[in-house]
A and B are shown apart, each in its own frame.
Chain A
Amino acid sequence: QSALTQPASVSGSPGQSITISCTGTSSDVGGYNYVSWYQQHPGKAPKLMIYDVSNRPPGVSNRFSGSKSGNTASLTISGLQAEDEADYYCSSKRSSTTPHVVFGGGTKLTVL
């Protein structure tokens, strides 16, 4: 099963905004509002940042926001900070013979 498509890397300067895209199909991203985003620092476990396309769990900064249009979801980080430098993964439920979750390939965010 192929992963969702994310850019390999993005970068931005402190204070700027960046957007990471996540492209799937009508069987996953486009078919459900079950898109999540995770942040992973080196050597650490992933952390849930966004669920249901655009909802933030308690404790996640409102600098992180999510959206979706058609088969593409997006994560936007505003007011970039050095601590935002990490890998970011999107995920979605995928329809199949049985329910599945599919992840994106990951995007390395560099804060310049």
Chain B
Amino acid sequence: QVQLVESGGGVVQPERSLRLSCAASGFSFNDYAMNWVRQAPGKGLEWVAVISYDGTNNYHADSVKGRFTISRDNSKNTLYLQMNSLRAEDTALYYCARGSDQGSSGWTALDYWGQGTLVTVSS
């Protein structure tokens, strides 16, 4: 079965960096676009970034552009999110989610999600 397991979260000071990982299994990882979505405590969902199946295209939300970078290693079935210049408002549970291959929505419909890794930015 499809499994997505995030790791790398923790408590970090403002302006520091952190790298999140998402280990995928149970499907052909290199056939699917992958996304990061975050959820601040008690708040709604916010899309963060997407990367194409082969890593050649990626897009980031305006709120993280220039600070966060999504990447993937298909040989390791792993998705990454490099987070630099972290701010208090980046505090959230970070989910990795697979872009669907069904219908027209493609990568914009997220059909499998991990359980998330918590990032807390605090001095």
- How many angstroms between the C-alpha atoms of A52 and B103 in the bound complex? 7
Which residues 9-38 in A have Cβ within 8 Å of B in the complex? 33-36, 38
Give the residue name and chain of the A residue nearest to B115 (CB). Answer: A45
* Docked pose: A98 CA to B103 CA in angstroms: 21
* Smallest CB separation, B68 vs chain A (Å): 14
Q: Nearest Cβ distance between residue B91 and chain A, in whole angstroms?
A: 18
B contact residues around A47 at 8 Å (CB): 113
- Contact B95–A36 (Cβ < 8 Å): no
Inter-subunit contact B95/A100 (CB<8 Å): no
- Indicate whether A104 sits within 8 Å of B44 (C-beta atoms), given known contacts A45-B113, A51-B102: yes
Contact A3 B103 (CB under 8 A): no
Nearest-neighbor residue (CB-CB) of A102 within chain B:
B47
With contacts A46-B45, A46-B113 taken as known, whether A100 is within 8 angstroms of B104 at the C-beta atoms is no
> Least Cβ distance of B108 to chain A in Å?
4
In this complex, what residue of A is CB-closest to B61?
A100
Residues of A within 8 A of B86 (CB): none
| A101 in complex: contacting residue of B35, B62, B102, CB < 8 Å | B35
B45, A106: Cβ atoms closer than 8 Å? yes
- Interface membership of B23, Cβ < 8 A: no
Bitwise interface map of B from 36 to 66 toward A, beta carbon under 8 Å scored 1, else 0: 0100000011110010000000011111000
A48–B100 contact, CB under 8 A?
yes
Q: Give the shortest distance, in Å, between A78 (CB) and chain B (any CB).
A: 22
Cβ-defined partner of B114 (8 Å) among A1, A36, A45: A45
Contacts of A68 in B (CB 8 A): none
Q: Which residues of A contact B100 (CB under 8 A)?
A: 48, 51, 57
Q: Closest 9 A-B residue pairs measured CB to CB?
A: A51-B109, A45-B113, A52-B103, A101-B47, A106-B44, A34-B105, A103-B45, A93-B108, A36-B109
